[in-house]
Structure formats: structure tokens, C-alpha cells
Structure 1
Amino acid sequence: MKIVVSGGGTGGHIYPALALIRTISKQYPATEFLYIGTERGLEANIIRKENIPFAPIHITGFKRSLSFENVKTIYRFIKGVRDSKKLLKKFKPDAVIGTGGYVCGPVLYAAAKMNIPTVIHEQNSVPGLTNKFLSRYVDKVATCFEQVGQHFPQNKVILTGNPRASEVVAAKKIGALQSFGLKEHVPTALIFGGSRGAKAINEAVINSLSHLAKKPYQVLYVTGEIHYENVSKEAELLGKFDNITIVPFIHNMQEILPSVQVVVGRAGATSIAEISALGLPSILIPSPYVTNNHQEKNAEVLVNKGAAFMLLEKELTSKRLVETLDAVLLDDAKRKKMSEASKELGMRDASIRLFHVIEELVQNK
């Protein structure tokens, strides 16, 4: 089978696509892939480093306010459709899947018009503009949250989960915490604010360090590379903490997650997929700077199931952070209950589910 994958802009669109490609390649080695993205997005470097065939098109997203740029975007979309059709005619895919981001617009639209089986994958609990537009033309809409299905044609929606979940389940590394100077059998909190870090989370954690140093649990604290130097300087003024390790970034996050007992961080779709796949309790601090406030809505799904606590950034203080960490890490019964609730939401076989959707469409075409 030959599959075109498209998705870009942010890691939240790219890593699920990459996880899908890896899983399918492992299960069905004869499958051929072509990834269509943009040179400006993160996907250009990430996909090429994985030695996956990559073809770029030029496209930009629509502004949500009236802007002359939107006229240019319409022109780029039309050209993007023409360029996509050329790539699709040359590669001759059996199916095309889009994992989000504006680059999917012309690619999936072109594929649908060429009568190629098409699937879009919506990771969040609130649909993106591109996916809402494409849902009128594609064959299937794969989702990760049940409630997002109401925004799409009901006959097209199928709940598959996030492919990223499939990867993280099998990735545990022995001695992962020891490599960060922490103990393997002590309850551990992983605190991070995304790949670039989050200023508000960093401020709350810095103000909590002296309190956390006295706890019977330990903390692996990821600052984000741009914040690391300043955070390290402030931490040094407070002294040395045997149960706290501060790092700028973790490249092998999928190997670390299975070794921790609670995750503190943002509520992006990929993070939630990883957390729930492993059955981890979480303390979610949604980013208030995302479209349609979708991270808060993502977090609410876990909170309503009893799998997470939510702290809004505007209400985040060191006192509330420490109290919430204590509520999870110092109460074994509570932590176990949250873990079970989290695991119920997890969909560990998401990549295979998604491939079966593609496979069925190809067979029925």
C-alpha cells in the first residue's frame, strides 16, 4: 500500500503522523509513504531526519480577522491544490491522511477531488478550522475525543485515539530516572511546560522549590531551553536539592513517562494521549494562548473522569501547585483511582485502529 501523510506547523500535528508511519512500517513493512508539508513548518526538519520521503508545498493559514493576507492565502490554496495534484499523480497513493495544520487543506482537498480515499485526524476536543473545512470532502474523520464528533458529519466520524499513544506504551527504559540523578522507586512528578517551556509554570515551580525539597517524593523539572539558564541561576540561590533535578529539555520523553507517577504540564492533545495511554494521573495547566481555548476543553475531559486536576494559569500559585502535588503523591488510594480513570480514557492501539480505517476505505473504493 502507498500512503500520503500530511500535517504540519506544530509538533501536535507532526508527532501523531510520525507515530502512525512508524507503527504501520513496523507492522506492514511493504507500505510506502510520502509526507507532504511546508518548508516553513517544523515538519520539514523532523520528517527529513526520519528519512521519510518529503515533498513541500507553499501554503499559509487564514487569519481569523479581516485581512488582505486572506486574499493571498486563497491564491496560495488554489496553487497548493494544483501542486498537490501533481504530487499525488506522480506518487499514486492508495490513501491520503491529514493530521492537522493548514498544509492539510490543499493536500486533502486535492485527494478528495481525485477520488482517492481520504481521512483527517482531529487530535483535540475542539476542531481546527482546516479539519472543519475538509470534513465536507473527506471520507472519514478520525477523532480522539468523543465530544468533538458533533462538529463533523456523523456518518464520517470514527473514534480511533491518538497514534502517539501507541508509541509511548512500549517505550519504557530501565534506569530512566537514574540517568537524571533520581531514584527509581520513589514517587516522582514530571513537571514541564511544553518544548519551549512556560513562564508561568516556571515561576510557580521556582517559588515552590524550597517546599518541594522537603517532600518524600521527587521532581524532574523541565524548564524549556530558553528558560533554563535563568531558572538554574535562581535555583542555585536557593541551594542544592537532592530530590529535584532541573533540565532544559528531554529528548526521550516517551522513555521517561512510564517511570513517573504524576505529570504536571499543558493540556495539548499529544500530551493527553501519552498520559492516558500510560494511565498516569495529571495536573493540567492549560495554555490560555491557544485557538478556541481548546487546551482547557481537553483538560476538562480528564478532570470530569477523575483522571486529572486542572489549575488555570491565572490562578496558578506555588501554594496551589504544592498542595495539588501532595494530594496526588501523598495519597496512594487517590493516585490509584486517578490512574485507573486515566487508563480508561487511553487508546493504546490508536495507530492500528487508524490504519484499519484507511485499509477499509481502500478495499471499498
Structure 2
Amino acid sequence: MNKIVFTGGGSAGHVTPNLALIGELRKSGWSVDYIGSAEGIERGIVEGTGIPFHAISSGKLRRYIDLKNISDPFKVVKGVWDAWRVLGRVKPDVVFSKGGFVTVPVVIASKLRGIPVIIHESDITPGLANRISVPLAGRVCVNFPETVKHIKGDKAVYTGLPIRRELLEGKADKARMDLDFVRTRPVVLVMGGSLGAKSINQAVREALPELLKEYQVIHICGKGNVDDTLNGRRGYKQVEFLTGGLADMLALADVAVSRAGATSIFEFLVLKKPMLLIPLSRNASRGDQILNAESFARRGFAQVLEEEELNAQTLLARVRDLYANRSAYAAAMEQEAADFDATGKIVGLIREAAGGRK
């Protein structure tokens, strides 16, 4: 029996693509374990699937001055030791890393044990954790063709992002019934990532009186961000975070308003949902979402609204324009979605790496 260890954490975007791969590998008899952090979002998601989860010490590597920069390197060193012991017990044929700081100790320990490592990079330019890990990997799977030039050596493989099969099986009628929405008005899905987005939430709520004259709105606003004063409005549904029913709501949505995290935008791409992307600004990030959004806009998949320009008026105007031109965006995504088989490509690379070790 082939064995694989997955790692990745810190956000849902570092976990859910792994689940797509895990589902395919388990169907063909692979044994799967997962290494993550004790406190990260990955633990709850993975343990809910019944996959053995191993928690290790994890420290964040920062580009800015912080007192934790003194203690966190020791946590990383301990994490390498923790991962070394787990890998010694599990004895996997291959390790797959999706990114996030918890993966760095796992990749280092895998290299020390001589276990092949495959990395997946979601954004156009690799984040710090993956930049550390890339030299230790045999293959680096990437979402964007532009990323290949950022990976040294002959390691980069343009695969795209693995998408959970269940997202392709959503039932629009079920979501419409559950939400008590009508058939006669289009649906706008708004989401700001697993933690929500304050600026997007504020703009949506300020624009809501006008939005609800033309559209129905599903608002995934993030943990702790529900505004109870808006509950009960016809045509408006707000939730913190969807663990169930997301596929049905995606099927129901006519257009999407979102941050530009790679997982979300590739899910919209495969489902051919026209997107208004509002990436995190460079003041709040390293700029990876801006590059993601620009790539999708160049390829005709999305519109981009900079966060500095976001308010109720610009949001409303862009949603109207996106919906009016939705057919053109869907047509641009059609061919890309038809050729999209990231899960199959990556599973093939995993099998190749495991076979080369025997």
C-alpha cells in the first residue's frame, strides 16, 4: 500500500486543495496522514474527515520586527524534530506540501529522511514558507503560468489548483429553497476569505438597500462578523463561514464578489462564475492577491476593484457592470475550465514520485 503525508495550514486555502487530492488517492487505496499545527484551522478541517492528524510545533517566519521573532525559530527547530518522529512512524512514500509556515519543518524533516517532497504554490510569486521549501522539493506545482519563471531549476509544473469534486455537484434549487430566494432576481455571492474582510463587509452593507432592489445577496462575512440588525431581510442571507451547503450556493450564484485568494478564484473559474475581485492591498499583504487578480483580469475571467477605491457606490456600479456582461466572462472561462484537471495532473506527479522511490 502506498503511503502519503500531506501538510499545509494557517488558512482554509492551504487545506481544502489537499482534501481534493486526498479524496482521489484514498479511492485508489492510498494510506493518508496529515501533519499540521495544534492551533491552526487545519486541525478541525482534517480531523472532521477521519484522516489521522499529527500536530507539531510551528513558528511563523516574519519579514517585520516582532518580539516573537526571538522565540519562533526555536519552535521551528522543535517542529523539525516533531515532524522527523512522525515521518519515522508513518514511513510515507511521498510528502505533499500545500504551504503555510507549519510546512517548513515537515519539508526539512522529509529531506533529512530522504522522502520525496512535492510542493504546491497557489500564488504567482511564492510566499516565504515555500521559498524556503522549494530547494528541498523534487517538484513544484503552480497555479499560474507566470509562476514558472519564479521557480529555479527544472522543478515547476503548471497544474492549476485541485478542486473538491463536491463543489461541481451543487444544486441551485436546493440553495434557493434553503435561502427562501426567488427565481426572478439574480444572486450575488460575496465572500472575503475564511476570516472575512472588514472593508468588503462594510461596503456591502452600505450598498445593501440599493443592491436588494436588483439582486439577492449571499454574504459570507467571516467569523464574528455577522450583523444581527440585518437578519430577516428578504433576499439577504449572511453567514460567518460555510462548511456545508457551499456547493449549492455556488451553483445558485450568478456572479461573485471576493478577495483574490487563489483557492476561491480557481473554484469560481472551474464553475465559470464571473468575478469582481477586491484583492488585499500591499499595505496589508505582500501583494500576492493583487497579482492573482491582475492575471485573471488579463485572461478575461474577472474585473478588479482596488481596495482603496472600494465603497458602496463603486461596489454597486461594478456589480451591475459585471452582471450585465456576465456572458462574456463565462465564455472566456469556458475553454480554461474544459481543460482543467489539476487533481489528475498532481496525482500523476505523486504516483511518479512514490514509484521512483521503490
TM-score normalised by structure 2 residue count? 0.91
The 5-angstrom pairing of residues 73-152 of structure 1 reads 73-152=72-151
Amino acid at match of 1:128: G
| 1:342 aligned partner | 333
Match of 2:344 among 352, 355, 363: 352
C-alpha contact (below 8 Å) 1:169/1:348 kept by paired residues: no
Could you tell which deviates more after superposition, 30-39 or 343-352?
Answer: 343-352
| 2:178 aligned partner | 179
Amino acid at match of 2:199: A
| 1:221 aligned partner | 219
C-alpha contact (below 8 Å) 2:16/2:164 kept by paired residues: no
Q: Give the superposition deviation at 1:227.
A: 2.4
Q: Give the superposition deviation at 1:270.
A: 1.0
Match of 1:277 among 270, 282, 286: 270
Amino acid at match of 1:82: W
Give the match's secondary structure for 2:79. Answer: helix
Distance 1:214 1:71, change over 3 A: closer
Q: Give the superposition deviation at 1:340.
A: 2.0
The 5-angstrom pairing of residues 158-177 of structure 1 reads 158-164=157-163, 166-172=165-171, 174-177=173-176
Q: Give the superposition deviation at 1:323.
A: 1.3
Partners of 1:94 and 1:74 lie apart in 2 by 28
Partners of 1:24 and 1:97 lie apart in 2 by 12
Partners of 1:41 and 1:130 lie apart in 2 by 16
Whether 1:257 and 2:250 are equivalent positions in the alignment is yes
Q: Deviations over 1:301-355 (max 9, x none)?
A: 11111211111121112111111111122x2xx2111012234444642222111
Partners of 2:218 and 2:77 lie apart in 1 by 47
Distance 1:210 1:291, change over 3 A: closer
Partners of 1:142 and 1:241 lie apart in 2 by 44
TM-score normalised by structure 1 residue count? 0.89
| 1:13 aligned partner | 14
Partners of 1:326 and 1:254 lie apart in 2 by 24
Distance 1:180 1:360, change over 3 A: same
Whether 1:244 and 2:242 are equivalent positions in the alignment is no
Q: Provide the alpha-carbon RMSD of the alignment.
A: 2.2
Could you tell which deviates more after superposition, 158-167 or 30-39?
Answer: 158-167
Give the match's secondary structure for 1:197. Answer: coil
Could you tell which deviates more after superposition, 154-163 or 69-78?
Answer: 69-78
Distance 1:167 1:151, change over 3 A: farther
Distance 1:79 1:245, change over 3 A: closer
How many residue pairs match? The answer is: 353
Give the match's secondary structure for 1:364. Answer: helix
Partners of 2:277 and 2:24 lie apart in 1 by 28
Amino acid at match of 2:61: F
Distance 1:108 1:198, change over 3 A: same
Long gaps (5+) in structure 1? none
Amino acid at match of 1:340: A
Partners of 1:243 and 1:102 lie apart in 2 by 40
Partners of 2:83 and 2:108 lie apart in 1 by 9
| 1:310 aligned partner | 304
Give the match's secondary structure for 2:78. Answer: helix
Could you tell which deviates more after superposition, 32-41 or 290-299?
Answer: 290-299
Partners of 2:226 and 2:353 lie apart in 1 by 47
Partners of 2:284 and 2:170 lie apart in 1 by 29
Partners of 2:211 and 2:111 lie apart in 1 by 54
Q: Give the superposition deviation at 1:165.
A: 5.3
Whether 1:298 and 2:299 are equivalent positions in the alignment is no
Partners of 1:12 and 1:140 lie apart in 2 by 20
The 5-angstrom pairing of residues 31-70 of structure 1 reads 31-66=30-65, 69-70=68-69
Partners of 1:359 and 1:186 lie apart in 2 by 47
Distance 1:8 1:224, change over 3 A: closer
| 1:25 aligned partner | 26
Distance 1:186 1:266, change over 3 A: same
C-alpha contact (below 8 Å) 1:19/1:167 kept by paired residues: no
Distance 1:223 1:7, change over 3 A: closer
